[in-house]
Amino acid sequence: MNRITQNFNTLKARGEHALICFMTAGDPDIDKTVELASSLYDAGVDALELGIPFSDPLADGPSIQASSQRSLDSGMTAHKALQCAARIHERVPLLPLVLMTYYNPVLRYGMTEFARDAAASGVDGVIITDLTPEESAEWQHHAQVNQLATIYLLAPTSTDDRVSSVCKICSGFVYCVSRTGVTGARQDVPQDLKDTISRIRRYTDLPIAVGFGVSSPEHVKAISAFADGVVVGSSLVDLIHNNRDNRDLHNVAYEYCASLKAGTRTVTAGSQQ
């Protein structure tokens, strides 16, 4: 069984919800990315999204755009990102790994080779942000051959037909974007988010994780009342960048993620239904 599914099943049995954190591979450098992944795991993070930087990140806001550019400027490539994933897997083999990228780097790498090398690196799932269901058949084939989950994004603006088509081919979990627009920390949880999650649940039994704008323990606690997991990205990316020269960077990241994880333990099993 895929480790993503295993973790969600274990969490559900314990009455917890998943905390999924995002880091950009190679920001500030590969060694620190690997070390930080270990700190995040120790803090209770249930899965790691590892971003493969791309020069035209359509879905990303200023924080992750800047992080991607810093990583690219330092020489990061898709090949090196997979090497980074392999080192993380070796360091923390129980931490599920999800690659997050765009279609262009996958095509340039070669879909057959990318899926094969991702699996060999210990990756459990892939989010190709701009890959639509209508264009995904070839990727789905290679992902399934290599036992990789393919995670798709849905938004509050997704029609019922779109929700249905995505849920039919999604695996691992469904990524629900909390609001329209790009990634980035926000101050509030959208009032209609619970209704969006309920609508998606009509089409799938997969866990549903919410991302885009989640940045505080209060956000995590509120969303965990009706979703199976939360994704935190931009605020962690900013914290890492702002503390990149701090010798206590790993402790700072640990404390932040531990505070987020606490919010996933305050909701009893089944309360999101």
Cα-based angle 258, 217, 128 (whole degrees, multiple of 5): 85
Whether residue 208 contacts residue 174, with contact meaning beta carbons closer than 8 Å, is answered with: yes
The pLDDT, as a whole number, for residue 12 is: 93
What average pLDDT score do residues 240-260 get? Answer: 96
Whether residue 48 contacts residue 21, with contact meaning beta carbons closer than 8 Å, is answered with: yes
Q: Alpha carbon of 262 to those of 69, 226, 235, 273: distances in Å?
A: 32, 16, 17, 20
Cα-based angle 123, 252, 94 (whole degrees, multiple of 5): 25
How far is the C-alpha of 10 from the C-alpha of 5, rounded, in Å? 9
The pLDDT, as a whole number, for residue 182 is: 41
What are the residue numbers of the active site?
49, 60
Of 34-38, 53-57, 127-131, 177-181, the range with the lowest mean pLDDT is: 177-181
Burial tier of 15 (Cβ tally within 10 Å: 0-12, 13-18, 19+)? middle
pLDDT digits over 2-33, tens only?
899 999 999 999 999 999 999 999 999 999 99
pLDDT digits over 144-179, tens only?
999 999 999 999 999 999 999 999 999 999 999 985
Confidence of residue 108 (pLDDT cuts 50, 70, 90): very high
The pLDDT, as a whole number, for residue 56 is: 85
Is pLDDT at 183 greater than 70 in this prediction? Answer: no
The pLDDT, as a whole number, for residue 266 is: 64
CA proximity to 51, closest of 43, 42, 63: 63
How far is the C-alpha of 40 from the C-alpha of 199, rounded, in Å? 32
Q: Which long-range contacts (CB under 8 A, 24 or more apart) does 117-121 make?
A: 117/79, 117/82, 118/82, 118/85, 118/146, 118/148, 119/146, 119/147, 119/148, 120/86, 121/82, 121/83, 121/85, 121/86, 121/89, 121/97
Confidence of residue 265 (pLDDT cuts 50, 70, 90): confident
The pLDDT, as a whole number, for residue 190 is: 56
What mean pLDDT, rounded, does the chain reach?
Answer: 91
How far is the C-alpha of 192 from the C-alpha of 52, rounded, in Å? 31
Confidence of residue 58 (pLDDT cuts 50, 70, 90): confident
User: Does the global pTM surpass 0.85?
Assistant: yes
Residue found under tokens 């990241």: 253
What average pLDDT score do residues 236-262 get? Answer: 96
Burial tier of 173 (Cβ tally within 10 Å: 0-12, 13-18, 19+)? buried
The pLDDT, as a whole number, for residue 61 is: 80
CB atoms within 10 A of CB 135: 11
How far is the C-alpha of 224 from the C-alpha of 236, rounded, in Å? 19
Q: How is residue 133 annotated by DSSP?
A: G
The pLDDT, as a whole number, for residue 189 is: 60
List 249's β-bridge partners, or say none. none
How far is the C-alpha of 193 from the C-alpha of 245, rounded, in Å? 37
Confidence of residue 186 (pLDDT cuts 50, 70, 90): very low
CATH 2.60.120.10 fits 3-265, yes or no: no
Of 51-65, 75-89, 249-263, the range with the lowest mean pLDDT is: 51-65
